[in-house]
């Protein structure tokens, strides 16, 4: 959908772990080449501006934003050189507790370091957003608990990187409680969920951005469909499944 913005959601790169969202290097290279060759990759800041203040002219190519969740070391070791070589901007949503405490993510996910994040930001291609401090699921959080999670994350990012933290992604892509929603809206320009929804200018709530998760099982055809705004049914079904599966999750 050329009149909308497709936001792709990645997690890990290199294929060294068994998780379904850990892309082998060759697959990541192919996807980024396809993106660079067939779409206009824009920053999340630019996307937010277009969504809030729609331009009069329709783009001639798909508009794509790249994002990644959690904060694993492969982002700098594997992904960053690919972005720089192709001059592709990307937003990385970081759960800051894992960086601070050197706590590993499930399934052998080594955390990224603050020095590595500073290296990434220095290239000019990477923007750092918040994924809460402890990867807290916000479906049941009250206002005080949500504020603590958000302010701790924002504070650590801005202290370590010297850049404002304007963007947020909900852990597990689960919609927040009303109280948490209000706290998020006070602090961020955008907040992202999932659902494989294309974000249409003038019709998208910036605090409810749709994203399209990318998995190792996405072959070339499936990936190109997602890149062009496909997969809405898959996204809806995944939202229903995740809501049930993570009903009692806290992180």
Residue by residue, pLDDT tens for the chain (251 residues) are: 457 999 999 999 999 999 999 999 999 999 999 999 999 999 999 999 999 877 667 788 889 999 999 999 999 999 999 999 999 999 999 999 999 999 999 999 999 999 999 999 999 999 999 999 999 999 999 999 999 999 999 999 999 999 999 999 999 999 999 999 999 999 999 999 999 999 999 899 999 999 999 999 999 999 999 988 887 767 666 666 566 666 666 66
- The token pair that represents 142 in the structure block: 């009250």
Extended beta strands in 107-233, E state:
126-130, 167-169, 190-195, 209-213
Residue 106 sits at the vertex; the CA angle it makes with 183 and 169, to the nearest 5 degrees, is 25
Domains of the chain, each with CATH number or no CATH: 5-245 (3.20.20.370)
Residue 224: burial class (beta carbons within 10 Å; 0-12, 13-18, 19+): middle
Q: In sequence order, what DSSP letters do the residues of 181-206 get, joined into one string?
A: HHHHHHH-SEEEEEET--B-TTT--G
pLDDT number for residue 70: 97
CB neighbours of residue 239 within 10 Å: 18
CA distance 226 to 31: 11
């Amino acid at each position: 959908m050329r009149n909308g913005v497709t936001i792709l959601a990645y997690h890990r790169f290199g294929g060294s772990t068994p998780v379904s969202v850990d892309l082998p290097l060759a697959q990541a290279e192919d996807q980024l080449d396809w993106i660079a060759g067939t779409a206009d990759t824009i920053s999340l800041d630019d996307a937010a501006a277009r969504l809030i203040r729609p331009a009069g002219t329709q783009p001639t190519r798909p508009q794509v934003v790249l994002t990644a969740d959690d904060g694993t070391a492969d982002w700098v070791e594997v992904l960053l050189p690919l972005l720089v070589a192709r001059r592709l901007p990307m937003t990385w949503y970081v759960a800051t507790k894992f960086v601070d405490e050197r706590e590993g993510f499930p399934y052998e996910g080594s955390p990224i370091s603050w020095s590595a994040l500073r290296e990434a930001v220095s290239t000019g291609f990477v923007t750092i957003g918040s994924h809460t401090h402890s990867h807290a699921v916000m479906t049941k959080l009250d206002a005080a608990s949500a504020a603590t999670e958000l302010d701790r994350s924002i504070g650590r990012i801005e202290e370590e990187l010297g850049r404002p933290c304007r963007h947020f992604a909900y852990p597990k892509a689960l919609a927040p409680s009303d109280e948490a929603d209000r706290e998020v809206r006070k602090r961020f320009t955008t907040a992202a969920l999932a659902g494989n929804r294309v974000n249409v200018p003038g019709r998208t709530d910036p605090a409810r951005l749709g994203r399209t998760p990318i998995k190792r099982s996405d072959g070339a055809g499936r990936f190109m469909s997602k890149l062009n705004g496909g997969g809405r049914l898959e996204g809806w079904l995944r939202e229903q499944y995740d809501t049930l599966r993570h009903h009692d999750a806290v992180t």
